[in-house]
Amino acid sequence: MQGSQQSLPLAVVRGKALATLPVDLFIPPEALEVFLEAFEGPLDLLLYLIRKQKMDVVDLPIQQITTQYLTYIEILTEARIELAADYLVMAATLAEIKSRLLLPKMALEEDDEEDPRVRLIKQLKAYEVIKQAAQDIDALPRLERDVFQASVHSHPDIKPTMVAPDVSLGELARAFGQVLARIEANVDHQVQKEHLSTRERMSQILERLNGNEYVEFKTLFDIEEGRAGVVVTFLALMELIKSMLVNVLQSKPFATIYVKASA
């Protein structure tokens, strides 16, 4: 089975498959060189060399770092890579600083002369802060890369339906408490006490609910009847609800309660 399989060619040149490498094939040495580091400028290259050798930026060994920088520039030149002018300017700056440090200093001018490395160190420190800030910003969650917005499109044929919650006994008691509070506000109003029965009030409520429309719960109470009349009305409503002769409806908790006669 394996003998019947044909091996794939190494390459196809001008429509001809090559199973073996040509004897006279020449591969230039620079074709196998790979540069993994990519630098954004001479300061980035300097900062890379400093971190690689674990040097201190504040106490920069200018001779060692200059040698490494020039070696890297020489490698890029031999690889026929076109260098930006900034890299050559930095090489000249390092050579100048190195030469100034090697020159003998006069005793009188030693205290007044500034260290030639100071300006370069300040530039490196500022660049290091900016580069770290850029890395921190890039690490933050980015929209459409790390975080994606969810979008929901409603279907035209789907219509939301409101399901009214069941009216609990607590909701009815709360509504009844509001009616009693209205009576307290009219405590000075004197009315003649009437003797009412629960059965009679049940009939009156059913007569008022004669229809398919909902009636607001609090409108079934007559404030002028006083506390006794309101209590009788509430007890009559409880009996009608218990007997399933009326229905109560509320759109949401703590909303207005409506009453309707059962069909």
Check residue 257 and report its DSSP letter: E
Higher pLDDT, 12 or 197: 197
pLDDT in tens, 168-206: 777 778 888 887 777 666 555 555 555 668 888 888 888
Q: 161 is written with which tokens?
A: 């339906």
What are the residues facing 238 on neighbouring strands?
Answer: none
* Torsion angle of C-alpha atoms 88, 94, 96, 101, degrees rounded to 10: -170
φ and ψ at residue 135, rounded to 5 degrees: -65, -40
- Signed CA dihedral, 7, 11, 17, 22: sign only: negative
CA 18 – CA 87 distance, rounded (Å): 44
Query: From residue 14, how far is each of 11, 17, 78 by CA, in Å?
Result: 10, 8, 33
Higher pLDDT, 169 or 94: 94
Q: Where do the structural domains in the chain lie, given as residue ranges?
A: 11-105+113-139, 169-261
CA 239 – CA 198 distance, rounded (Å): 9
pLDDT in tens, 144-171: 778 888 877 766 777 767 666 677 777 7
pTM over 0.85: no
CA 263 – CA 99 distance, rounded (Å): 107
* Sequence letter at residue 5: Q
Q: Looking at the domain that runs over 169-261, which CATH code has it been given?
A: 1.10.10.580
